[in-house]
Amino acid sequence: MENTPEQIQFPNLALEINKMVETDQDMRENNLKDDSWDDELDKKNTERIKEIIIDIGWPTVSKVGKSASVGAWLLVQHADHDVDFQLHCLDLMRKLPNGEVRPEDIALLTDRVRVNRGQPQLYGTQFRQIDGKHVPKDIEDIEHVDERRAEMGLDTLMENIARINSKYPLK
């Protein structure tokens, strides 16, 4: 259930984060159609999220509501140009009490940081295209990946692969 503006500490920041996410997602959706990528948008969003985190700490559910908290994670997920910042945010997220951030967001950002640092991922959330298929990037201890995924509220790796293949067209 989404918090109402009266229940969150920073409703104006929530609105701002949600607007940033909308712009981010519009750019990514348009890119699937016409290769209209804008690297500057990710950089601008990263700088603003950095400012927000300096001001209020990680944008948790109680601070900005569930939608904007997930949105903050998404914007950090797209900050591949600043892996140190991604790692800093991951550390902040891991320290939060249950209910303030989604475990699946921690799993996804964990994989993103590991892949960006040249390490195998833990949860199998990051993909590449090989021979006309979406294939997970290297996974550490793949025999236990579904156990780790379940602990973080994720579906199985095979279900994730099927979803990725149906959602994202091959280039």
- Per residue of the chain (171 residues), give pLDDT as tens: 455 555 899 999 999 999 999 999 999 888 777 777 888 999 999 999 999 999 999 999 999 999 999 999 999 999 999 999 999 999 999 999 999 999 999 999 999 999 999 999 999 999 999 888 899 999 999 999 999 999 999 999 999 999 998 887 776
| Domain residue ranges in the chain | 5-101, 127-167
Q: Are 29 and 83 in contact (CB under 8 A)?
A: no
pLDDT on residue 39? 85
- Altogether, the residues listed in the chain come to a count of 171
136 forms beta bridges with 127
pLDDT on residue 123? 98
pTM for the complete prediction?
0.91
Q: Count other Cβ atoms within 10 Å, centred on residue 2.
A: 12
Instruction: Mention every residue, 6+ apart, whose C-beta is less than 8 A from residue 170.
Output: 129, 132, 133, 134
Pairing of strands 133-136, 127-130: antiparallel
At 107 the three-state DSSP class reads: helix
The pair of structure tokens assigned to 58 is: 């990680």
pLDDT on residue 171? 66
Q: Residue 58: which of 91, 85, 93, 86 has the closest Cα?
A: 93
Rg (CA), the chain: 16
